[in-house]
């Protein structure tokens, strides 16, 4: 006889476990089905362990700048095994923390692979053997996504890596090719370059970090190249020829073709949704470009079945998945005041050096949508805290509707901007205007003062630039 629940969630990643917690808070009997590790890719192989690695490379980079601060040290070095071990320990701690949250909220966790098995039914197996049959009034699909593999660039785990292999190198390669310059590719490029690896980045589009504002992308490229990263944009890797312990890549642009030989390759060319093996066949669930189609309340075309997170499409961000989980559950529960997710208010962060963060429309997107824009800028070099920190490289850019004063977008590059962006995200969520931001008092001396100055600059009122 099947166990009966109000909600069953397939996938214990950020979207799934947050949805489960909110459901439990609302008094729903909830079960999570997870095939691998609680916390999903984000906690175990993505957001969290990569930040642990990047923290190590940031410190290593700063150690080589000790002289700038009047300090000195001898024999600066690192142990790759210990760097990786710390990253894995951080991931394990947080994954265990999700398990604690499940127990605290009295949420049942079933380890295994879940599959739709009829209306309101999920069958769970492990290693091909039945584990549980679950009846539920509502089924939330939160199975996430995996790295995209392109023909001829298939990862083999040894010479051609995905993000997983890139996070646990047994030794540092001397040279590395990163295919793709989105957030994942650039973060790995930044980490390995700061650890002393010769890094080449190939991007098929005409600029790095192509989803960011064009000015930010251009600034980032100059910074990366100054660090010694070789960048080829408007370029494609056509063939990988594997040697015994290296890879030769044949790269083509519209003007030329050339070969690059490196120790290792990281493929970072996007992700595809995990839609296979979860019983979508014969249901009303629609799949487009490997992602499940869902409406503003995360409902699929099959009654009682919902989809959240990476499975439901871009932007592929853990915080987007978490908010979708809450919205989905609260709508199911009939909570008053639930609002659909506004994609314009989702911040994006890239933890390279220098960091990049943004929210809302780029300048080009705003102009393309017909806005008469007012643009503000403020450079890190004009900020006292940035200079004191030894971090004078960066910029804050704001985009306003010239008619209404609405903050349309904000774009930042430089030290700690991934922490600063939330100020603009809050302003956008509250529909704050330029006059309200101008009247807001920012503490001194802080990096956040640049956010104020950028707003002032958009209206010709910058005080320190």
| Selected catalytic residue, list 61, 444, 452, 464 | 444
Residues of the chain with pLDDT under 70: 1-2
Active-site residue flag, 464? no
pLDDT of residue 2: 66
How many residues comprise the chain?
465
**What is the rounded distance in angstroms from the CA atom of residue 408 to the CA atom of residue 360?**
6
Q: 128-144, pLDDT tens digit by residue?
A: 999 999 999 999 999 99
Q: Supply the pLDDT for residue 3.
A: 84
Tell me the pLDDT tens digit for each residue of 301-336: 999 999 999 999 999 999 999 999 999 999 999 999
Reading the block at residue 445, the tokens are: 């001396």
pLDDT at position 155 is 93
CB contact set of 54 (below 8 Å; sequence gap of 6+): 187, 190, 191, 351, 352, 353
175-179 β-sheet, strand order: 160-161, 264-267, 175-179, 198-203, 230-233
Q: How far apart are CA 60 and CA 56, in angstroms?
A: 6
Rg (CA), the chain: 24
Q: What is the pLDDT of residue 152?
A: 87
**pLDDT score at 367:** 98
Find where tokens 């010479």 sit.
159
Q: What does the alpha-carbon distance between residue 55 and residue 219 come to, in Å, rounded to a whole number?
A: 22
Q: Among 37, 5, 32, 7, which residue's Cα sits nearest to residue 17? A: 32
Contact 443/379 with Cβ under 8 angstroms? no
Q: Answer whether 0.75 is exceeded by the pTM.
A: yes
Q: Which domains does the chain have, with CATH numbers?
A: 3-147+272-333 (3.50.50.60), 160-269 (3.50.50.60), 354-458 (3.30.390.30)
Cα-based torsion angle of the residue sequence 378, 380, 386, 387 in order, rounded to the nearest 10 degrees: -120
């Amino acid at each position: 006889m099947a166990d009966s629940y109000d909600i069953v969630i397939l996938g214990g990643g950020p979207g799934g476990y947050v949805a489960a917690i909110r459901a439990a808070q609302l008094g729903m009997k909830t079960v999570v089905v997870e095939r691998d590790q609680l916390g999903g890719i984000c906690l175990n192989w993505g957001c969290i362990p990569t930040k642990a690695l990047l923290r190590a490379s940031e410190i290593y980079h700063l150690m080589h700048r000790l002289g700038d601060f009047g300090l000195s040290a001898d024999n600066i070095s690192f142990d790759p095994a210990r760097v990786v071990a710390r990253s894995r320990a951080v991931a394990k701690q947080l994954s265990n923390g999700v398990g604690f949250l499940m127990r605290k909220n009295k949420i049942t966790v079933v380890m295994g692979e879940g599959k739709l098995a009829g209306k309101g039914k999920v069958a769970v197996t492990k290693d091909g053997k039945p584990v549980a049959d679950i009846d539920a009034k509502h089924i939330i699909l939160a199975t996430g996504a995996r790295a995209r593999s392109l023909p001829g660039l298939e990862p083999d785990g040894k010479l051609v890596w995905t993000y997983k292999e890139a996070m646990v190198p047994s030794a540092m390669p001397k040279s590395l090719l990163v295919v793709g310059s989105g957030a994942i590719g650039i973060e790995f490029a930044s980490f390995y370059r700061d650890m002393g690896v010769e890094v080449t980045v190939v991007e098929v589009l005409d600029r790095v970090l192509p989803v960011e504002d064009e000015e930010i992308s251009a600034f980032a490229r100059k910074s990366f190249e100054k660090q010694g990263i070789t960048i080829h944009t408007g370029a494609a890797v056509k063939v990988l020829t594997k040697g015994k312990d290296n890879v030769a890549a044949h790269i083509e642009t519209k003007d030329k073709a050339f070969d690059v030989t490196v120790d290792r390759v990281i493929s970072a060319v996007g992700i595809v949704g995990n839609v296979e093996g979860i019983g979508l066949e014969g249901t009303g669930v629609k799949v487009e470009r490997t992602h499940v189609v869902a409406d503003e309340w995360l409902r699929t075309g099959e009654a009682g079945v919902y989809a959240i997170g990476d499975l439901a499409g871009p932007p592929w961000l853990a915080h987007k998945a978490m908010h979708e989980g809450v919205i989905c559950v609260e709508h199911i529960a009939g909570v008053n005041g639930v609002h659909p997710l506004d994609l314009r208010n989702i911040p994006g962060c890239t933890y390279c050096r220098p960091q990049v963060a943004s929210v809302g429309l780029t300048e080009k997107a705003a102009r393309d949508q017909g806005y008469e824009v007012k643009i503000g800028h403020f450079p890190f070099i004009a900020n006292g805290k940035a200079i004191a920190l030894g971090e004078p490289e960066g910029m804050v850019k704001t985009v306003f509707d010239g008619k209404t004063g609405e903050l349309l977008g904000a774009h930042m590059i430089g030290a700690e901007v991934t922490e600063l962006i939330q100020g603009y995200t809050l302003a956008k969520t509250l529909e704050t205007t330029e006059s309200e931001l101008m009247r807001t008092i920012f503490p001194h001396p802080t990096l956040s003062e640049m956010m104020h100055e950028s707003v002032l600059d958009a209206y010709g009122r910058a005080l320190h630039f």
